[in-house]
Structure 1
Amino acid sequence: MPRDLARLAVPRVGSLQATEDPFEPYRLLDPDGSVVVPVSAYLGEVQACGRSVATQRSYGMDLLRWFRFLWAVGVPWDQATRVEARDFSRWIQISDKPRRSPSRSGTASAGAPNSVTGKPSPGAKYATSTQAHSETVLRAFYDFHLETGDGPMVNPFPLSRERRGGRGNAHHNPMEPFRHERTGRYRPKAAERVPRCIPDEKFDQLFAQLASHRDRALVALWISTGARAAELLGATCRDADPGQQLITVIRKGSRRMQQVPASPDAFVWLRLYQAQMHGLVPAGGDDPLWWTLRRPFRRLSYHAARAMFVRANAVLGSNWTIHDLRHSAAYRMARDPRMPLTDVQWVLGHALLSTTQRYLTPLPADVIENVLAFHERRQRREQPPKPAAGYRPESLQILFGEDRS
């Protein structure tokens, strides 16, 4: 009998627990508080492949949703079939995602565009990118246990039926990019999203709402270097080189160290912040560069930096994110005719030039302004010119056969 997903309740049981163990940064716990060993084994494999701690957390959250669904339907993870995978894919597309605050769930503004930025607010449903990411992680999870012989004999998340046999991209033209011919059967198609840029005047208003030298230094470095939030927050005191206007970051994907240039005003704010914290926090070469401003002083985390940015947004009624600063920096550099696109690729740390080319896409605000100017020019062109003063309208009407008054 088909499963009644409309009446299925998936309780928020189990959790993804952060640990202090560098060999197991995160572990998945079942409703009884016991460690889910298959997930721990897979996250260990992910760590061995060189994935970051943030990636392991993201994979763990996808697996937590899947195991909660299996616990709700009463199916062990090693006995899941394509029926459970299909029902989970349907459930995650239709069901509402859990909210931390019950008062905010089901609001009418969920998914509506912001009046200042035009960006839609988080909707009540799971985003398409979240659904696609979950399908990829779960398929890799069962592929890993197929190799070890611990899981089911057939992967519950199969590939698509588009190519039953043969090799993918068998007749590929070397002059064209590769196509993804083999994707997951239950993987939704996500639309290509155009990165959003913070206009200069909006950024000035946002920067004026920052309350401390530390916050100004952070935002100025983000907007001038294009570094990711975690890359800059992981910097140490040795990484800042004001003399050469460089700061060293560890790239997210390759995990390599790279010096990126920043604007002079960013280092001015950084020096003011360091003078403010002098004698209060350690300032050795290996000590963190960014600290909290209240006692007890701790290393500034991403969630604390995000809360700072949310407070600045609340004053303006906007919903910009820290990652929008990276997009804004990329747009500023890519639209400068004197800066080659390959230089922008190097600064952003992109592996492919095609990723950097996204920032050559026209911004929606610029397109709207150009189209409105086009309609205004058309309107002026369609209106007939008025005759010079001194001509009698009735005479012009006899000559040209139309009213030119």
Structure 2
Amino acid sequence: MIESEKSRRDLTLLVVQCDGRLVPTGDAAEPYRLLDVEGGVVEPVAVFLRELLAAGRSAATLRSYGMDLLRWWRFLQAVEICWDRASRDEARDFSCWIQLTVKKRSPSTRTRSAVWTNNAVAPPNPITGKPALSDGYAPATVVHSETVLRGFYDFHRDAGSGPILNPFPLDPARRSRRAHAHRNPMDEWAREPVGRYRPKMPKRVPRAIPDQRFNELFAALGSNRDRALVAFWISTGVRASELLGVRQCDVDPGQQLITVVRKGTRAIQEVPASADAFVWLRLYQQELHGQIPPGRMQPVWWTLRRPRRPLNYHAAHRMFERANGALGSDWTLHDLRHSAAARMVRDPHLTLCDVQFVLGHAHLSTTEIYLVPDRDEVIAGILAHHARIAEQRDEPVPPPPAPGYDPQVLSVLFGRTL
């Protein structure tokens, strides 16, 4: 098969300009809007986002999908291809480009571009052991982007407004057989099908914060509000956005319960919290007395600076970054959820189903990932194993060598006296 000119596109010379943007509207009927270079609304994306909104997707999901489509639109502009004329050549080149390009993290200049380069591997953080962030997009972002674009073209194909062939096809190896054929009921459900240009995701083990490290992190917090937030996160295991959405009527100190709206299912659930979390919350509420609007429907969490505004995720994330900066660590807000889950799993009085309910997992197999031993525990166990081997090696009466072996040769080889 002879390659076309488009299939031989030189990606090393490709420069993708950061034109266009995804803007919030504040309108519940259209939370986000994708604008092109001239400031006009990208209508194919607007129709797709309205479809997602009608299917019950949250505003955060629409923002995530919109960012993936924005990157795709910028790439199409760089290769001078209209969205409905894109082929699998463009999809393949986009999949290569997004995996190896440099990500612009700070909007320091108005005109920015992404340049093709090799990402350098930085050493891991000395405190957390996490690998440093590379200059490129994370594997999860690449995988999510492929899924979103495939769904986008599937929608327009079914609506008759897009190409007949999806530029992001499914893997032929998975499409050639029936989904879940000859499945063992004792095995987990496999995620089928898989996209052709979907890279493999490395298996991630949840990383919990050790107790000593958590105490240091908690001591680095600068206000009672921050201490209350972290105390609730570490004791309940709720997601960051779920806790930030708590209202005054959702807090029940007498029963030690808070009511949260789950991120995926939007289900309303009561979650138990520790007593010290409510103590820090009461201290924080006393500081805000008379400074925030009264009412049971008002948010619990507010900014520290005036004028007081409801605390959003980005402000809470910045607060946690400041605490990390004081310690030189790179823990995340989601690590607090992992830490809470690891603590509950280690408690012999709690069942795995109890932990599943508190975390809000749909499947018990998701909760089972916290049964994996912690990295520090594994390292300590292996080091203890080596110490026991060394003690056995230094026994005063070592076992005699087998017949036919020279004791002096074995002494030089194993470093001991026979």
Number of the residue aligned with 1:243: 254
Question: Which of these residues, 248, 253, 256, is aligned with residue 267 of structure 2?
Answer: 256
- The answer to whether the 8 A contact 1:117-1:320 is kept is yes
Counterparts of 2:203 and 2:251, CA distance in 1: 36
Please list, as runs of the form range in 1=range in 2, the aligned pairs for 1:343-382 lying within 5 A after superposition: 343-382=354-393
Q: TM-score, normalised by structure 1?
A: 0.92
Number of the residue aligned with 2:402: none
Cα distance change, pair 385–50 in 1 and its aligned pair in 2 (3 A): same
Number of the residue aligned with 1:192: 203
Cα distance change, pair 296–161 in 1 and its aligned pair in 2 (3 A): same
Counterparts of 2:118 and 2:223, CA distance in 1: 33
Number of the residue aligned with 1:400: none
Structure 2 SS opposite 1:84: helix
Structure 2: 5+ residue stretches without partners:
398-415
- The answer to whether the 8 A contact 2:143-2:199 is kept is yes
Structure 1 residue 166: deviation in Å? Answer: 4.2
Counterparts of 2:100 and 2:301, CA distance in 1: 41
Q: TM-score, normalised by structure 2?
A: 0.90
Cα distance change, pair 299–160 in 1 and its aligned pair in 2 (3 A): same
Aligned residues: 389
Structure 1 residue 295: deviation in Å? Answer: 0.8
Cα displacement string for residues 83-138 of structure 1 (whole angstroms, at most 9, x for unaligned residues): 111111111112112231679x9999864310110012211121111111100000
Structure 1 residue 385: deviation in Å? Answer: 2.4
Counterparts of 1:298 and 1:154, CA distance in 2: 48
Number of the residue aligned with 2:408: none
Structure 1: 5+ residue stretches without partners:
387-402
Cα displacement string for residues 268-299 of structure 1 (whole angstroms, at most 9, x for unaligned residues): 00000011101110231100100111110000
Structure 2 SS opposite 1:20: strand
The AA in structure 2 aligned to 1:329 is: A
- The answer to whether the 8 A contact 1:159-1:184 is kept is yes
1:60 aligns with 2:71: no
Cα distance change, pair 13–178 in 1 and its aligned pair in 2 (3 A): same
Counterparts of 1:204 and 1:87, CA distance in 2: 47
Cα displacement string for residues 165-214 of structure 1 (whole angstroms, at most 9, x for unaligned residues): 44212221222222234210000010110000000000000000111110
Cα distance change, pair 101–114 in 1 and its aligned pair in 2 (3 A): farther
- The answer to whether the 8 A contact 1:221-1:266 is kept is yes
Cα distance change, pair 25–181 in 1 and its aligned pair in 2 (3 A): closer
1:179 aligns with 2:190: yes
Cα distance change, pair 213–164 in 1 and its aligned pair in 2 (3 A): closer
Cα distance change, pair 122–18 in 1 and its aligned pair in 2 (3 A): same
- The answer to whether the 8 A contact 1:109-1:121 is kept is no
Number of the residue aligned with 1:84: 90
Counterparts of 2:98 and 2:286, CA distance in 1: 50
Counterparts of 2:123 and 2:29, CA distance in 1: 42
The AA in structure 1 aligned to 2:48 is: Y
The AA in structure 2 aligned to 1:214 is: R
Please list, as runs of the form range in 1=range in 2, the aligned pairs for 1:5-404 lying within 5 A after superposition: 5-100=11-106, 111-385=122-396
Structure 2 SS opposite 1:6: helix
Q: Over aligned residues, Cα RMSD in angstroms? A: 2.0
